[in-house]
Chain A
Amino acid sequence: MDLIRSIKMQFCIMITSISFKVGFSIVMLYVLVSYITTLVLNMNTDIAFMYSAHDMFCGVEYSALRNNFEAVFPFIVVFPFSFSYLTDLGVKVHPYVIGRMGRRNYFAGKIITNFLGSFIIIFIPFCINLLLCYVTFPWNNNHIFGDYNALNYAETLLGTNIVVNTVQSGLPFVKLYLFSPMAYNFLFLCIISLFSGILGTVSGLFSFYITKFKILLFVPIYLLFYLGNFLTILSKRYISFKLIEYMYVNHMFGKSFFVILSFILAVILFSVFSFRYACKKEEI
């Protein structure tokens, strides 16, 4: 019960904080600008030649301004609530809060709220973009994966056109895509939001260690992304370590589920370790 109260309290603090508002506004601005750019680019295009609404969504690899968002993403996920522990330390409020709800509930509440904050700032704006795209653009079969029902379409979906020695090729969850591209987009929307939530949690966990300069909290997640790009080049049999590639709708090859699984496992272990460390640190 105390844990729920802790989450409730910290969630209320989060949604009224400037950093959450800044993060949310940036993502909202991105999805709206992306939508408007797509709209402008498709002006005067015959509806028969226009790409389908499924491919205009900003969670798809080739959507407008995606590269720019990818560059900002490692910093955006840190914004919602990761600085909260440092703020609590700065205003010296944490002894009172911990005294009321207990160390475990306080830190568990922080971790969960961190996850929720980073999840929300991606989920809601991307949902709005998805809706806008489906309202505005045609639901035809002009897909980015090739001409519908032609050979190149099947090759791209199944990954039979890949000549690289790789662990995986073709579209992941291809059956769902064939059943409903809209459901497929929504699945990836949930995946990128969950991923954002996890990254927010990780940066929040780092705040238990980096207690002096707030701005340094940007470094771990950025380095994690940078390291991912680096490992992609180093591996012999092609495995993509570029985590963001797993979160978008695309037909990139080399996606190994072991990469994601190990990442999640590492985060869980790090969470448990950091939670215990933080609780011990605040022991009276």
Chain B
Amino acid sequence: MSNWEKFIRIISIVPVTFFFSLYSLISDKHDIAIASMLTGKIFGSVTDDTSKAFVLMLSNILYLVLFNIFFGNLISEDFRFSSVYLFSRLRNRKVWFYKRAFELLMISSVYALLFLVSNLMICTFCSTSKIELNEVKIFLVLFGLITMILAITTIIINLLAIKFGSTTAFIAVYISVIMLIFLSLKHESIPFLGKYYFVRLFNPLSGIVLNLFDNPIAQSIVAFYYFILMVLTFILGGRFVDNVDIALLDCESI
């Protein structure tokens, strides 16, 4: 994938976000805080008597799906179409994978930034209130979380794509995402685990912004949990890439 292609795919989120927010742009302004509006545009909330958790909305994961599709073969295409050429010249496959995964992390951060800035502009236009310190805080938390979600899911797609092909890998990860969202929505009905509110934290698509507004401890736990997930994806991915038999995967000669 050339740099130009990467650039086009990254900035495509800006027109898409504006296009699908046209309705908000043409309707009247609301007296809602920008932070709440921004969170509401990206997440749905699940509430019970004592707590409130935010989950990804099935109807609003276009940005995630597009990113997964656009960059779901960033690492795996090298493996399938130029592995013999590439790995016969490289000393360490693990280092190569870490570099590529880090590149994907950087791309996801730029993509998340563009997505959030577009949404923030829309929310500022639609709201009567102004950007304050709380908005900046929410923006930074959302930026970190969305970057992590995008990077982790896309790296997993790339790793699975090496073995099963990009389409099967994408559908497998997408179904997992849907299942995790479903589980988070039905958390209270899960036998035994449903009683424990904080178990939701271990569902990576559910506890993501648990008590975002008033619980710094929960936020730290979530951030740490995502960091652990990211590190695990890197380490396990590196080991997987190191052990893959390129003779079985290479499609260069076809």
Contact = CB atoms under 8 A, between A and B. Distances in A.
Main secondary structure of the interface of A (DSSP, over half): helix
| Chain B interface mostly | helix
Interface stretch (B88-96, B141-149, B163-171, B217-225): B163-171
Contact of A214 (B20, B70, B167, B254): B167
Nearest to B58: A71
Interface string A55-83: 00000000001011001100110110001
Interface string A207-238: 00000011111110010001001100110000
B171 A22 contact: yes
Contacts of A68: 58, 178-179, 182
Given A19-B167, A19-B168, A226 B62 contact: yes
Contact of A22 (B20, B59, B168, B251): B168
B22 interface: yes
Interface in A176-223: 213-219, 222
B230 to A, nearest CB: 23
Interface residues of A, number: 30
A18 B77 CA distance: 19
A219 B66 CA distance: 7
Interface in B145-184: 165-168, 170-171, 174-175, 178-179, 182
Interface residues of B, number: 26
Interface of A: 18-19, 22, 26, 65, 67-68, 71-72, 75-76, 78-79, 83, 90-92, 213-219, 222, 226, 229-230, 233-234
Interface of B: 20, 22-23, 58-59, 62, 65-66, 69-70, 72-73, 77, 165-168, 170-171, 174-175, 178-179, 182, 251, 254
Across the A-B interface, the 7 shortest Cβ-Cβ residue pairs: A215-B166, A71-B58, A215-B72, A71-B178, A68-B178, A233-B23, A215-B69
22 contacts: A18-B165, A22-B168, A26-B171, A26-B175, A68-B178, A68-B182, A71-B178, A76-B171, A92-B254, A213-B77, A214-B166, A214-B167, A215-B73, A215-B166, A215-B170, A216-B70, A218-B69, A218-B170, A226-B62, A233-B23, A234-B22, A234-B23
